[in-house]
Amino acid sequence: MSNGEHLSKQYDQELEELRARILHMGGMVEAQLQSAITSYERPDVKLAEEVIDADRNVNEQEVELDRVVVNMIVRRQPTAGDLRLIIGVARTVTELERIGDEATKIARAAKWLFDKQRSVRTPRLREIHSSALAAARMLRGALDALARLDAAAAAAIIDEDRGVDQQFQAILRQLITFMMEDPRTISPSLDAVWVAKAIERIGDHAKNIAEHVIFVAQGADVRHATPEEIARAVSQE
């Protein structure tokens, strides 16, 4: 009955372009996040400033993609799978922009850290490193799932978020211990808390993207759903 293409070739092209653009924006944010983490761990002021500058591009992408989405709704009055893709993209744009903001926060912390590290004993936690890697992995996975509209892969990403949340709690406990033992570490420890919190939020946004992927692929809204409900939504054809 159909070969999967619209009667309107133009519409097909627009949808294809929308998909390409959101993945491109995802790639930008992923790179921004990687650089932010590196700038914090070294710390590297120049790299941190690049991350902060790059946020402007991400913001521009957000505005531009939103414009495309509104245009498509007006011109095409999308339905069914097309509607879900367009809505899913609109939601994902917001998540990506916020991940960009969190990456910028990490980069700012990197700059402070660089300024302070000669004078103050700074807590360096391996857990921050590993939770940053986990959040970055979640983001990549969510974007992969979006590219392939793979609901099962998206469900696995949602599952990973719990680990990132737990790591954040563990980091918090450690930093509190540091601060109690030596008040001189309070200021740098608080900086580390902001970084850990930013990472934890990035995990949340990646999880949200994965939820949007399930909406696009299956038409099920799994926000606030239990793991069992998510599993059911993903398994239905």
Partner 1 sequence: MGNSAGAGNLDIQKKAQARTLKAEVDHLSFYYGSFRSLKDISLSIHSNQVTALIGPSGCGKSTFLRCFNRIHDLYPGNRYEGAIRLYPDKLDILAREVDPLDVRMRIGMVFQKPSPFPTTIFENVAYGLRLRGLAPRAAVAEKVEQSLRAAALWDEVKDRLHALASNLSGGQQQRLCIARALAADPELLLFDEPTSALDPIATASIEELISGLKATVSILIVTHNMQQAARCSDYTAFLYMGELVEFGETDQIFIRPVKRETEDYITGRFG
CB closer to partner 1, 77 vs 119: 77
Query: With binding defined as CB under 8 A, does residue 2 bind partner 1?
Result: yes
Query: With binding defined as CB under 8 A, does residue 78 bind partner 1?
Result: yes
Distance of alpha carbon 169 from alpha carbon 197, whole angstroms: 10
Query: With binding defined as CB under 8 A, does residue 156 bind partner 1?
Result: no
Q: Between residue 166 and residue 225, which ones bind partner 1 under the rule CB under 8 A?
A: 218-225
Query: With binding defined as CB under 8 A, does residue 4 bind partner 1?
Result: yes
3-state secondary structure at position 102: helix
CB 222 within 8 A of CB 215: yes
CA dihedral 197, 95, 88, 154 (to 10 degrees): -40
Query: With binding defined as CB under 8 A, does residue 60 bind partner 1?
Result: no
CB 142 within 8 A of CB 206: yes
Q: Which of 9, 74, 80, 118 binds partner 1 (CB under 8 A)?
A: 80
| Residue tagged 């900086």 (tokens) | 191
- The radius of gyration of the chain's CA atoms, rounded to the nearest angstrom, is 20
CB closer to partner 1, 118 vs 224: 224
233 token code pair: 């939504």
CB closer to partner 1, 23 vs 225: 225
Footprint on this chain of partner 1 (rule: CB under 8 A): 1-8, 11, 77-84, 218-226, 228-230, 232-233
